[in-house]
Amino acid sequence: MPPHPLSRIRRAAQWGDVRSRGLGMIAYTLNRVTGLGLVVYLYLHLIVLSLLAGGPSSWDAFVQIARSPAFLVLDVILIAGWLIHGLNGLRVTLTGFGIGLRSQKVMFVVLMAVAVVALAAMAVMVFSA
């Protein structure tokens, strides 16, 4: 049996390289990257919430940090993450059930445009709260 030129790890990570790949692959990689980022965020968020168990003194101290501009920037990045992941995810769900197969590329472009507009609107809301 001739050897595979790449190790198993490198083969599993092949989805990360989108050079010369089509729009469908870019969408797929985006969904994976945002998805993994959101998993990390989820557990960070759950851990931070434990401050609530410490009562007003510990939680309200955190709230001060959460209102700082640096934190707000992170919030906008987070919103971008779930907007992209969610809207593209809708497309993956539809096409994955065999619906809208012919228009999958158009769907991606339109949904990402919606994501950009929504992100801009929400960023404004975040910074003017």
Binding residues (CB under 8 A) for other proteins: these are 1-5, 8-9, 11-12, 14-15, 19-25, 27-28, 32, 35-36, 38-39, 42-43, 46, 49-50, 52-53, 55-56, 59-60, 63, 66-67, 82, 86, 89-90, 92-93, 95-99, 101-102, 104-105, 125-126, 129
- Give the tokens for residue 64: 């001060």
Instruction: In angstroms, give the least distance from the CB of 129 to other proteins.
Output: 3
Which residues does 37 contact at the CB level (< 8 Å), separation at least 6?
81
User: Least distance from C-beta 32 to other proteins, angstroms?
Assistant: 7
Q: At what angle do helices 69-96 and 104-128 cross, to 10 degrees?
A: 160
Residues 6+ apart with CB under 8 A from 94: 100, 107
Is the CB of 90 or the CB of 116 nearer to other proteins?
A: 90
